[in-house]
Chain A
Amino acid sequence: MIKIDHLVKAFGPKRAVDDISFSVERGEVLGFLGPNGAGKSTTMRIVTGFMPPTSGSASVGGFDVVDSPLEAKRLIGYLPENAASYPDMTVRAFLDFIAELRGLAGAARKKAVNRVVELCFLESVLGQAIDTLSKGYKHRTCLAQALIHDPQVLIMDEPTDGLDPNQKHEVRNLIRELGASKAIIFSTHILEEVDAACTRAIIIDRGRIVANGTPEELRGMSESAGAVTLQARGATEERLSQLGRVEKLNGAFRIYPRDKSRAAQLAQEVVEMVNQHGWTVEGMYSERGELDEVFRRITLPDTVQR
């Protein structure tokens, strides 16, 4: 549905997006990760047709966003970064306005508005002017706007930014449900959201893709992935180091596999060693890897001089 090919966007001498290529199919939820200023928003603005690319191309549903912008835009629902909407309008008037611009009229428009109002829990504020709403409601109003025409492609720039934990949870669930039938891209810098909602994640840094894979694969890139943490009375570092490199934690040992491909066997070997020496196990975990460790390792903080 979404295809991005060697996309470049330069602002003066600075390349905000530097040769990015990827595609998203129907049924996929792509998490777009990266530090601030990595080029996430710029990429989304190009895909939604707000900015033309410097070079390369982006197409949605087969329509190039530069050559046939209106056809592409009809397929897209977009939640911009700050969830901007017209503050002087009421929620109902705003949704009616967007629905009309989306070509919905009469009964179809009414139905569409009612559907998103229910989906985004907006019944109680329908008659209120948008600038009197709390941030969470403003955000959901803008989300409702993006969903009003039941788009095949949904692009959301930080959809959970500024929401409270309950609302975050609701929005993530919504994204996951919608993802079954749509192609979705959303950006975030909250790593747990990747687990909660994505089928695939891309990490970009300084305009380039530095990692692309399922959340599991990304986690696998973590140093601690596949390691076994053992807390057992009688266990010694000396014996455990026969199995792999051992790190001493607070009263426990973490054993790293010598070879990532043998990670599955490591737990088995640890159990065998425990039985052999008769140690009393108090806790034992197999590490899945930490996303934020991967994130920190492959991206540079934006405080680092570029």
Chain B
Amino acid sequence: MKIIWTLVKRELGAYFASPVAYVFLVIFLLLAGFFTFTAGAFFERGEASLASFFAWHPWLYLVLVPAVGMRVWAEERRSGTIELLLTLPVAPWQAIVGKFLASWIFLAVALLLTFPAVITVNILGDPDNGMIAAGYVGSLLLAGTYLAITCMTSAMTRNQVVAFILSVVICLFLILAGFNPVTDLLVRWASPAVVDTVAAFSVVTHFDAFQRGVIDSRDLVFFLSVIGFALFATGVVIRGHRAG
């Protein structure tokens, strides 16, 4: 545990040592604001909720989370520090979890900085704050899911751009599998059971429940198991390219 914490501290330090972290935070907050208030028609809805805020998160994270996670292993491999890290008395799973947690904490900080949106709806009306809290939990899990996938693609290559593109493609698939325009198309030639099965793999389907204020154990299990699977796959990939 102590080792993981040491790794988390270093990784977080690496984020904030470079201006990239601050640029990311600013872009994230600007885009979140733009989607919520302009594209999401926050004011025109006439209701005190953050529905227009959360609805965009699967798309917003699609680009921003891979941007945060792409360097995690790719940079380590490119610069050769992976040899240093994995010859220290650190188990590979500790390194994988430590790096994942650090990036997740960074994304959590970015998400927490959207608190003015919560204050805004509370001033303008009387929102269901439980629903908002559930939305935040779901959003954080969503970010973690994308991040775990990005960790996996990052371990596959020493090129950050390749890691970025791969993870965007995989995450896009996870969105589209349950995205209404796509499922509507699928229904025309596939049985509803097939469509439901495909949609069950989508982050959108599971994220929807959180937005409605429902924290269902099945959705929790979905997100946590995708995270667990992706991190396990990261371990397999890292062991694989050392085995030669």
Q: Which residues of A contact B (CB under 8 A)?
A: 9-12, 45, 48-52, 54, 69-70, 73-74, 76, 78, 80-82, 84-89, 93, 97-98, 100-103, 142, 145
Report the Cα distance A62→B18, complex, angstroms.
43
Q: Inside 8 A of B89's CB, which chain A residues have their CB?
A: 70, 73-74, 101-103
In the complex, what residue of chain B is closest to A12 when comparing beta carbons?
A: B244
In the complex, what residue of chain A is closest to B241 when comparing beta carbons?
A: A51
Q: Which residues of B contact A (CB under 8 A)?
A: 2-3, 6-7, 9-10, 13-14, 17-18, 79-81, 83-84, 86-91, 242-244
Chain B contact residues: over half helix, strand or loop, or mixed?
A: helix
Report the Cα distance A51→B87, complex, angstroms.
9
In the complex, what residue of chain A is closest to B16 when comparing beta carbons?
A: A88
Q: Are A51 and B244 in contact (CB under 8 A)?
A: yes
Among A76, A87, A101, contact of B79 (Cβ-Cβ < 8 Å):
A87
Among A9, A51, A102, contact of B88 (Cβ-Cβ < 8 Å):
A102
Q: Are A50 and B79 in contact (CB under 8 A)?
A: no
* Whole-angstrom distance between the Cβ of B108 and the nearest chain A Cβ: 21
Q: Are B14 and A70 in contact (CB under 8 A)?
A: no
Among A10, A84, A97, contact of B10 (Cβ-Cβ < 8 Å):
A97
Q: Inside 8 A of B3's CB, which chain A residues have their CB?
A: 101
- When A and B form their complex, what is the total count of cross-chain residue pairs whose Cβ atoms lie within 8 Å? 72
Q: Inside 8 A of A102's CB, which chain B residues have their CB?
A: 88-89
Report the Cα distance A87→B13, complex, angstroms.
12
Q: Are B87 and A86 in contact (CB under 8 A)?
A: no
* Whole-angstrom distance between the Cβ of B25 and the nearest chain A Cβ: 18
Q: A45-B83, A88-B17, A88-B18 are in contact. Are A52 and B243 (CB under 8 A)?
A: yes
In the complex, what residue of chain A is closest to B83 when comparing beta carbons?
A: A80
Q: Inside 8 A of B13's CB, which chain A residues have their CB?
A: 88-89, 93
Q: Are A101 and B90 in contact (CB under 8 A)?
A: yes
Q: Are A97 and B6 in contact (CB under 8 A)?
A: yes
Q: Are A52 and B81 in contact (CB under 8 A)?
A: no
* Whole-angstrom distance between the Cβ of B235 and the nearest chain A Cβ: 14
Q: Are B242 and A98 in contact (CB under 8 A)?
A: no
Q: A70-B91, A80-B80, A80-B87 are in contact. Are A89 and B244 (CB under 8 A)?
A: no
23 pairs, CB–CB < 8 Å, chain A vs chain B: A12-B244, A48-B87, A50-B83, A50-B87, A50-B242, A52-B243, A69-B91, A70-B89, A70-B91, A76-B87, A78-B84, A81-B80, A84-B79, A84-B83, A86-B14, A86-B81, A87-B79, A88-B17, A100-B6, A101-B3, A102-B88, A103-B89, A142-B84
Q: Are A84 and B84 in contact (CB under 8 A)?
A: yes
